[in-house]
Amino acid sequence: MYAALTFVSFLLLGLNFPKAKGMCYLTEQHCVCSLSDMRTFFTCLPATTYELRGGNLSQFAGFSRTELDANEIAFLEALLVSKLIFTDLIVPEVSLPVALKVVSYTPLVSELEFVNCTFLKSADQLGIDGYDLKVSSLRFHKVTAAPLDDRLDISSLQNWLEILENLTVTESQVTSIPCKISTVLRALHLLDLSGNHFQDQTLETSFCKGAFSQLQVLKLHGNNLRSYETVCQILAHLNRLTHLDLSQNDFLPGPPFSSCSWPQSLRVFNLSSTGLEHMDRALPPNIEVLDLSANRIFILDLSIPGLKELYLSNNRLSTILSIKNLPGLEVLSIDQNQLSQLPTKDLLHWKHLKSLRAGLNPYNCSCKQTIREIQGLATHKALLPDWPHDYICRSPPDYQDYLLDEVPLSLLQCNKAAVVRQGSIVCLLMCLHLVLGLVSLPAYRSLFIVL
C-alpha cells in the first residue's frame, strides 16, 4: 500500500521519507500523485507512467538522501514504470542529482518530462552525475530556469547526453543552446525547439560545427527567425534531416536566387505562416510534403516531381497550379483561397490525386456544367473531403451563400448562354474575315482557341 508513496518519495528528489506525504490515483496505467496532507494512497505498482503534479519541493530539498539500501534498490529495479512526468512544480536544482540517481535504478524509465516547472537556481556549481541513465527522451514544456552558462559541468553528463534520442524544449523562452551541449548530443534524432526565442544569430551558435550530426526531425516553429537564406546556410550540413518545421516565423522578403542548398535528405518541409508572398526561394529538391498554408501567396509555379502532399490553404491563389510539374501529387489543400471554379477536366490528369480540399473559396455558380463537374469530383471520385458543407457560391447574386450542392441547376442557363455568346463572336470574326480578308488563317485559329 505504501509502494506508490515510497516511489513518489524517491522521486521527490531524494526526500526524507516521513516528511513526504502524498496522494496518488491511478487511471489506466498512468499514476498521478500530488503532495498533500491526506494519507490515502492507492497502489500505483502496475502503472507505466508516474506523474507528480503540483507543489513546492523546496521544503524537502534539505533532506536529500544520496544512499539507498538494498531493499529500496530492489524495489526500484522491479518497477514497470517507463515514463516520469513532473507537472506544475517548483523544483530546487539541488534536488536533481538525487532524482537522477533514483531514476538510474529503474531499468525501464526511458522518458522524462517536465511541464510547467520552475527550477530554482542553486548557489553552488550544479554537480549532476549522469550515473547509468537509460533515459532516451527528455521533454521540457513551459519551464523556467536560470541559464546554465558555466554552472553545469557537461563532462559528468556526457555519457547520458550521448545516448539521448529525443529532446523537446518548447515554450520556455530559450534563446540558444550552448555549442558544447549541441556537439555532445550526437545521437539526437528529434529536436523540438518550438515556441522559443531563437533568432538567426543564436541559431547559428546553437548549430555550430559538428552539432546534432544524426538529427532527423527539427521543429523550430514559432521562433524569431527572419532570414530564410541564413537558416538554410545554418542547417545545410544536417545531411540526415528528413523533417523540418519552420512554420510561424516571419521571414523577410529575400533574394529570389539563392546559393544555399537544403539537405538532400529533407522530405517534409513546413513553411506555414511565414509571411511568404511568392515561393521564389530555393526549396529542398526531394521533398514529398510541403506546407505553404496561411501565407499571402497569389502566384505559384512549383516543379517538384516527387511531391506527394501540398498544403496551400489560406492563401490568395485564384488558379490551381500547373499539373504537369507535379505529376506525383496525391494530396492537395487549396481551401480558403480565391478560386471561383475548379479546372475539373485538368484535375483528372492528376493520376495519383486522392484528396483535394478546395472549400471556402468564392465559387461562381453561374454554370450548370461547372457545378455538375464539381459534384462529380465529390461523388464519383470521392476526391473532396470537405464536400458539400464548405462549397459555397459567391456569385451570381441570386445564389450567393448557397451551397453548390443546393443550387437549383434546372434554372441555370450558363451553358446555352455561353455557346450563343461564343457563337456570335465566332460569326462576327468569320464575317470580318470574309468581308475584309485581313485576318490570316493562323491568327484566326489562335483567336478561336482563345475563345
The CA dihedral of 26, 28, 32, 33, to the nearest 10 degrees, is: 20
Out of 64, 172, 230, 270, the only residue in the binding site for ligand NAG (CB under 6 A) is 270
Q: In whole angstroms, what is the distance from residue 365 CA to residue 391 CA?
A: 10
Q: In whole angstroms, what is the distance from residue 354 CA to residue 327 CA?
A: 13
Site string for ligand NAG, 318-347 (x = CB under 6 A): ----------------------x-------
Q: In whole angstroms, what is the distance from residue 430 CA to residue 425 CA?
A: 9
**90 touches ligand NAG (CB under 6 A):** yes
Query: Which backbone phi and psi does 35 adopt, to 5 degrees?
Result: -80, 130
Query: Which backbone phi and psi does 24 adopt, to 5 degrees?
Result: -130, 145
**272 touches ligand NAG (CB under 6 A):** yes
Of 16 and 58, CB closest to ligand NAG:
58
Q: In whole angstroms, what is the distance from residue 20 CA to residue 111 CA?
A: 24
Out of 106, 196, 248, 274, the only residue in the binding site for ligand NAG (CB under 6 A) is 248
| Cell numbers describing residue 238 | 544536417
Of 75 and 374, CB closest to ligand NAG:
374
Q: Which of residues 360-389 bind ligand NAG (CB under 6 A)?
A: 364, 366-367
Of 43 and 56, CB closest to ligand NAG:
56
**183 touches ligand NAG (CB under 6 A):** no
Q: In whole angstroms, what is the distance from residue 200 CA to residue 223 CA?
A: 10
Q: What angle do CA 60, 63, 66 make, to 5 degrees?
A: 120
| Cell numbers describing residue 75 | 524495489
143: amino acid identity, one letter: V
Q: Is 33 exposed, middle or buried (0-12, 13-18, 19+ CB in 10 A)?
A: buried
The one segment of 99-107, 111-119, 316-324, 427-435 that binds ligand NAG by CB under 6 A: 111-119
Out of 36, 58, 201, 325, the only residue in the binding site for ligand NAG (CB under 6 A) is 58
Q: HSE-up of 249 (CA within 13 Å, CB side)? A: 27
Q: How many residues bind ligand NAG (CB under 6 A)?
A: 31
**3 touches ligand NAG (CB under 6 A):** no
**113 touches ligand NAG (CB under 6 A):** no
**245 touches ligand NAG (CB under 6 A):** yes
Site string for ligand NAG, 161-180 (x = CB under 6 A): ----xx--------------
Q: In whole angstroms, what is the distance from residue 382 CA to residue 397 CA?
A: 29
**155 touches ligand NAG (CB under 6 A):** no
The one segment of 148-156, 266-274, 345-353, 436-444 that binds ligand NAG by CB under 6 A: 266-274
Angle between the N-to-C axes of helices 3-11 and 96-104, in degrees from 0 to 180, rounded to the nearest 10: 130
Please, which residues have CB within 8 angstroms of residue 274's CB and are 6 or more apart in sequence?
246, 247, 248, 249, 250, 251, 295
Site string for ligand NAG, 390-429 (x = CB under 6 A): -----x------------------x---------------
Q: Which residues contribute to the site for ligand NAG (CB under 6 A)?
A: 56, 58-59, 88-90, 110-111, 116, 118, 136-137, 165-166, 190, 221, 245, 247-248, 270, 272-273, 289, 291, 311, 340, 364, 366-367, 395, 414
